[in-house]
């Protein structure tokens, strides 16, 4: 069993998800699927930022996560 705290394990998991989504985007040829993958990638990035903000108690990261969620998940796609 790993001695990493739960927040670090979740950040590592989300980093792996981001990498897998990037590979999926490289292999994809349809534009609509690319847009969906881009939105999922933005959601994973926002979740990762929220976890870092919570674990380090840095309030400006909450704003960054909200901005990422608004732009990459809602407005751009």
pLDDT band at 73 (very low <50, low <70, confident <90, very high): very high
Instruction: Report the predicted TM-score, pTM, of the whole model to 2 decimal places.
Output: 0.88
The predicted structure's pLDDT at residue 3: 84
Contacts with 16 (C-beta within 8 Å, 6 or more apart), sequence order: none
Domain boundaries, the chain: 30-77
- Does position 76 have pLDDT exceeding 60, yes or no? yes
Q: Alpha-carbon distance 2 to 73, whole Å? A: 32
50 and 62 in contact (C-beta within 8 Å)? Answer: yes
Q: What is the pLDDT of residues 2-59, one digit of tens each?
A: 688 899 999 999 999 999 999 999 998 899 999 999 999 999 999 999 999 999 999 9
Contacts with 68 (C-beta within 8 Å, 6 or more apart), sequence order: 42, 45, 46, 49
Helix (H) or strand (E) holding 19: helix 6-27
pLDDT band at 68 (very low <50, low <70, confident <90, very high): very high
Q: Alpha-carbon distance 21 to 68, whole Å? A: 17
């Amino acid at each position: 069993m790993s001695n990493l705290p739960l927040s670090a394990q979740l950040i590592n998991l989300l980093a792996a998800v981001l990498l897998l989504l990037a590979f999926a985007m490289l292999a994809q040829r349809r534009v609509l699927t690319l847009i969906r993958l881009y939105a999922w990638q933005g959601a994973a990035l926002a979740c990762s930022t929220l976890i870092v903000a919570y674990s380090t108690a840095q309030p400006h990261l909450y704003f960054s996560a909200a901005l990422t969620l608004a732009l990459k998940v809602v407005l751009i796609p």
